[in-house]
A and B are shown apart, each in its own frame.
Chain A
Amino acid sequence: MRLAAVERFAAAPLPTPSEEIWRYSRIDRLDLDAFAPAACVTEIDAPREAASLIVDTEPELFADETPDVFAELNRAFMSPVVIRVPAGKIVADPIVVTHHIAGDGVAVFPRLVIDAGADSEVTVVERFVAGDGADDDRALVVPVLQVHAAQAARVKYLAINEVGINTWQIGNQQAVGERDSSTLLATVTLGGDYVRARTEARLSGKGGSTKQVALYFAGGTQMHDFRTIQDHDAPNTSSDLLFKGAVQDHAASVYTGLIRIRKHANGTTAFQTNRNLTLSEGAWAESVPNLDIETNDVKCSHASTVGPIDEEQRFYLESRGVRPEVAERLVVLGFFEEVISQLPAGSIADDLRVRVSNKLDLGSAASRQAVPA
């Protein structure tokens, strides 16, 4: 039976970059034959009051569609964690779910379900990290996140990706928000070889709101790839999205975002902003915003930029006597601050600033070495 599953896995039909949603991606470099499905090693750190909320049950499927073959594979091979928050329950401290990714040729399929009852409140941090000594392992991570925010529920979710430099991650995030609910989907991506996330926030009830934010920073030959969907499926809903990324060395990033406002979603506001810093000549970033609006009664905007560090900002700091490499670090951290300040679980912010800063130093050291003497 296990053999059958492995065969089924290897035979899954993969998409190609000729499909718009996979354009610019590295999907044509993926060979499923090189991987075998395994159980995911997951650790859960929950505040005592929340221990009973993590339930051992077959996850319910809140989004009936599986948007791509990877979500289907996750359904077939998943290692589920289900967090069910009863109506009215407020969990003050974050629940932290950590997946330790290790093993050459290992494919893991973590599934996290956050089912927030009416007027409940919960914050969940999901971390994807390399297991001990597994920094160089060629693993494949295919996660799915499903968030269901019932009426007036408040859900905050943060994914932190720090998997090893040879690991691939291809994930799906799906959130559905009912009437007057509010959902925050935050993502920080620093790790991996190729890391892709498709993140979809659907507002199914009047007055609901969602916010999607991300910080991504790719160096070396990494590629970070985001596809976002803000789906307004009810009137008077609001969505906001802020994705900020940086690429250095020979790294690449892709952002494509869609705001979809359906015919009955009048009185909607939707904003989408994607800004990218290209820190090296050889680095590359693509940003493609899209709108699909079927009603007139909306307030909607999108903004997208790709470019190097602002010369005026750099000169301003240098004219105070700040060294160029420090000025660059300050400007890049300042650029990300807008996202960092909106992340849930504020205690991780300082740690994140240090990690971004360290990665900048690595990148500038690499480019210094690349310059012939």
Chain B
Amino acid sequence: MSTLEIRRLRAAVGDKEILKGIDLTVSSGEVHAVMGPNGAGKSTLSGVVMGKPGYTVLEGTVTLDGVDVLAMAAWERAVAGLHLVMQYPTEVPGVMLDDVLTEALASRGRPTDDLDAILRAEAERIGFDERFLHRPLNVDLSGGEKKRNETLQLAVLAPKIAILDELDSGLDIDALRDCARRVEAMSNESAAGHEPLGVLAITHYNRLLHELKPDRVHILAQGRIVTSGGPELAAQLETDGYAAFAGVEPEAESSSALDDLFSF
């Protein structure tokens, strides 16, 4: 049983405070959805927890099974059992997916002999074309292929806790279903000596949650969790919109146009 604990987390980009005190606890086998409008701080939350450069932590703690995550470099957080599925997976020219996973497993002291077979099996399961396995990471892949690729890496690396940053942006309905189902399965099963996956799914829209069943739903607005509840909260949000929740005002952010483009 593993637990990611985020306590009173405040973080800034430059001089601007984005996260204004976040408390969240995610344990093995649980699916937590963090939903919020554009500009609420969703991507900042995933970036700060994973150690992406460009953020300053002002206050608070993040621990994985009691160990201070914020003191670790990004790669150490991954080895410790955190994983980030990115909203816009980076294209890395000339660097092959299988080479990266070989190195990623080596850092964890895990065997790589059977990687090829595991990759093929996962690729088939997630509907990811096998010919992409020895191709440069994300280069020339469609939005849906990139998210299948992200989900495949998640399955192969088998972390304790996964943060999904807008898994549902930029992909078609079939890819969304395949990716969400794979994550849902990982959160339910204890595969090959691993605990079931704990999931922190950050999303703007409800559609991801039709396949990936959340145990808890949290609404993030203006850097704070304003409401938490069961799955019914997502349904209520769908009917009433973010504006119905206290303290939520629509914010115009420069990224919103792009988000909307990928969402419909």
Q: Which residues of A contact B (CB under 8 A)?
A: 311-313, 315-324, 326-327, 330-331, 333-338
Contacts and interface: CB of A to CB of B under 8 A. Distances in A.
Interface string B68-108: 00000111011100011010011111110001110110011
A317 B100 contact: yes
Interface in B213-229: none
Contacts of B77: 319
A189 B75 CA distance: 33
A321 B52 contact: no
A337 B53 CA distance: 27
Given A324-B73, A327-B75, A330-B100, A319 B84 contact: yes
B137 interface: yes
A322 B84 CA distance: 13
B111 to A, nearest CB: 15
Q: Is the interface of B mostly helix, strand, loop or mixed?
A: mixed
B103 A322 contact: yes
Nearest to A339: B94
Contacts of B104: 320-322
Contacts of A326: 103, 107
B136 interface: yes
Contacts of A320: 75, 78, 83, 100-101, 104, 153, 157
A3 B89 CA distance: 66
Given A330-B95, A337-B94, A311 B53 contact: yes
30 contacts: A313-B90, A313-B92, A315-B52, A315-B74, A316-B86, A318-B73, A319-B51, A319-B52, A319-B75, A319-B77, A320-B100, A320-B157, A321-B75, A321-B78, A321-B79, A322-B75, A322-B103, A322-B104, A322-B107, A323-B75, A323-B103, A326-B103, A326-B107, A330-B100, A331-B95, A334-B92, A334-B93, A334-B94, A334-B95, A337-B94
B197 interface: no
B90 A333 contact: no
B194 to A, nearest CB: 15
B50 interface: yes
Nearest to B81: A321
Contacts of B51: 319
A316 B50 CA distance: 11
B96 to A, nearest CB: 8
Given A319-B74, A333-B94, 19 more contacts: A317-B95, A317-B100, A319-B50, A319-B77, A320-B75, A320-B83, A320-B104, A321-B78, A326-B103, A327-B75, A330-B95, A330-B99, A331-B95, A334-B93, A335-B93, A335-B94, A337-B94, A337-B95, A338-B93
Contact of A334 (B75, B89, B136): B136
Max chain B Cβ within 10 angstroms of own Cβ: one of A317, A320, A327, A331: A320
Nearest to B156: A320
A330 B103 contact: yes
A135 B137 CA distance: 38
A314 to B, nearest CB: 9
A312 B53 CA distance: 9
Contacts of A336: 94
Interface in B16-42: none
Contacts of B53: 311, 315
Contacts of B153: 320
Contacts of A316: 86, 89-90, 92, 137
